[in-house]
Structure 1
Amino acid sequence: MTDLSPSDPPDSYRPLRIGTRGSPLALAQAHETKIRLMAAHGLPEAAFAIVPIKTTGDRVQDRPLSELGGKGLFTREIEDALLAGEIDIAVHSMKDMPTVQPDGLAITCYLPREDVRDAFIALGGLGTGNLADLEPGSVVGTSSLRRRAQLCHRRPDLEVVEFRGNVQTRLRKLSEGVAQATFLAMAGLRRLGLRDVARAPIPVEEMLPAIAQGAIGVEQRLGDARVTAMLARINDADTAHRLRAERALLAGLDGSCQTPIAGLATLSSGTLRLRGEILRPDGSECLTGEVSGGVAEAEALGTALAADLRGRAGEGFFDA
């Protein structure tokens, strides 16, 4: 258990070790977590240490994510380090997280959610700068099966190519002409100070985002009471309620990086509204649904919507 006390001098305690991927966006998310913990507990910067960890998803860049084993590609090595006691907490982009954590670990904290929308990114003169401006046959790059299926459903006249890498890598590929346009999450662009890169944020009514898009989760070892108490001070309850519903939807659909699934929960005056969408990988069919209820019903809402969509889809819906 990490020994931290706001009243002790900085050199008298071991820093809280924050595990994260090493990409600029992941590091920005870890720094945001650190800053919130510093403010909530009156601790100095020396009370924390950020520990970058390279994951399978970071190491293998020449193959689509769907061929590498689905969700867990960006979390497994970090969770191994957490279980081994090499780090004290792990900071994750929640859209990368499997719906079940390894024995002994739990996500007990969510930071306030950022902009959930996708961003349309394109270089050169494209009129108002949105998807409708692309000429038939234009090349769009994405590594997301959800975005690929949504794009093929809306614009089957476009060519879609694999487009992996972090935000900076994908922007470089765009400038090199690998594709004429791509999509990035508005949340990531905002956290990196790159919001002006987006030609146009895409309304969720036009392109429902990935489950948990824009949300940061913090994972810890079960039984670490000190860390539990620290994280409780920065947990955002509204985000937690929304993600309980969205992740229940994902779990009910057995979602992974190999299944085009979108979903978004919103919370207003104590009522959760959960929208979900599943698509055939080639975009030829799209099924949508919606449920609403109280926050105490969050998991039940996600499970019910998943059952409805799964029942309407039938066997083989996600087959390529």
Structure 2
Amino acid sequence: MKTIRIGTRDSQLAMWQAEWVKSKLEMFYPEGKFELVSMKTKGDKILDVPLSKIGDKGLFTKELEQGLLDDELDMAVHSLKDMPTVLPKGLMISTFCEREEPRDVFLSKTGVLLEELPSGAIIGTSSLRRKAQLKHYRPDLKFMDLRGNLQTRWKKLQESEMDGIVLAAAGVKRLGWEKRITQILPEDLMLSAVGQGSVAIEIVERRSDIQKLLSPLNDIATEQAVRAERALMRKLEGGCQVPIGALARVINGQIILRGMVASLDGTRLIKAEAQGLDPETVGNEVANRLIALGANDILAEIR
């Protein structure tokens, strides 16, 4: 068996995810040889500009995808929430690993809960989705743009005037930072990014050998949930940098999907929900309900 090259970004969290995939493959294939190949992406290099101002087509994936197409990599490990809903020609997601906690968490500098913060408190986040929902919940809060890896963000919280930061629970847990979490934000307050908490593995479509190799890592419930979320995003023609939230769960075989679109100032926030058996159908149904409530008008203003 030739050495299988696993592509990853070089941040600590991305390396953790790729190491996790590598360890699972080594467990299933003890005779196999697997090596990590790390790369910096455009999103890793530009840290002084909010993501919404750079454009988000493949911001954290393009270099890895080129590595796949150039046959420098056999697979690429991504955070699914970083992946565009339309992939480059010739590539596919072969594997959706079992999802970690998909919600967002609040890390407070002083241990104060989000609802207990004083008026005018400053929250660190560059996510338009998080800002819009927080502004809707508490219009009195202020915001400071926050980019960089999780270590950088935690350091900035300690050294700045920020009162707290909002991060994806999955990344915080994967780095072993559970004790730093002040609270998990409930879905009614903060709907997650599409695909949040799921590690996805991308391959070249014709590599049926790699797809077969990865099949033991695929989690069906996760795949159904995130495919529904991505169908919603695709229908709304959204990207990572628009205030769209979605979270699906599979309960007794039914996919239950909640979706949200908000204006940048948080004054308009619409939600819809649907359930069913087919991910694409459920995702499109929620998207159509959001459109009927005015989602396209809100998104057109933002664009």
Fold agreement, TM-score > 0.5: yes
Equivalent position amino acid for 2:105 in 1 = A
| Paired letter, 1:232 | S
Q: 1:103 and 2:84 equivalent?
A: no
1:86 counterpart residue number: 72
Q: Name the amino acid aligned to 2:42.
A: T
Whether the aligned pair in 2 keeps the contact of 1:37 and 1:43 (CA below 8 Å) is no
Mapped to 2, the partners of 1:212 and 1:93 lie a distance apart of 8
Shift of 1:202: 1.2
Equivalent position amino acid for 1:191 in 2:
R
Q: 1:71 to 1:283 in 2, by over 3 A?
A: farther
Task: State TM-score, norm by structure 2.
Answer: 0.96
Deviations 1:154-204 (A, max 9, x none): 111011111111110100100101411110111101111111111111122
Q: Does the residue aligned with 1:233 lie in a helix, a strand or coil?
A: helix
Identify the residue that residue 7 of structure 1 maps to in structure 2. none
Query: Hey, what does 2:27 align to over in structure 1?
Result: 39
Superposed, which structure 2 residues align to 1:194-273 within 5 Å? Answer: 194-273=177-256
- Identity %, equivalent residues: 42
Contact 2:81 2:240 in 1 (8 A): no
Q: Who is 1:117 aligned against?
A: 103
- Give yes or no for the alignment of 1:170 onto 2:158: no
- Taking the aligned partners of 2:151 and 2:25, their CA distance within structure 1 comes to 28
Q: Highest CA radius of gyration, 1 or 2? A: 1
CA distance in 2, matches of 1:179, 1:24: 23
| Structure 2 segments unaligned to the other structure (5+ residues) | none
Correspondences of 1:269-284 after superposition (within 5 Å):
269-284=252-267
SS at match of 1:213: coil
| Rounded Cα–Cα distance in structure 1 between residues aligned with 2:296 and 2:19 | 44
Match of 1:19? 7
CA contact (8 A) 2:270 2:295 kept: no
State the alpha-carbon separation in 1 of the partners of residues 124 and 156 from structure 2. Answer: 9
TM-score by length of 1: 0.91
Deviation at residue 315 of structure 1 after TM alignment: 4.7
Q: Count residues in correspondence.
A: 301
1:316 aligns with 2:297: yes
Q: Distance in 2 between matches of 1:253 and 1:178?
A: 36
Shift of the alpha carbon at 1:41?
Answer: 2.2
Equivalent residue for 1:156, pick from 139, 150, 156: 139
In structure 2, the partner of 1:136 is 119
In the other structure, the counterpart of 1:298 is: 279
- For the 8 Å contact 2:157–2:163, the answer to whether it is kept is yes
Q: CA deviation at 1:224?
A: 1.0
Q: Which AA in structure 2 matches 1:53?
A: M
Of residues 21, 35, 58 in structure 2, which corresponds to 1:72? 58
Task: Could you list the structure 1 runs, at least 4 aligned residues long, displaced by more than 6 angstroms after superposition.
Answer: none
CA shift, 1:43, in A, is 3.6
Deviations 1:31-70 (A, max 9, x none): 11111111122345xx111111100000000101011112
- Residues 90 and 220 of structure 1 are in contact (CA less than 8 Å); yes or no, is this contact kept in structure 2? yes
RMSD of aligned C-alpha atoms?
Answer: 1.2
CA distance in 2, matches of 1:82, 1:168: 29
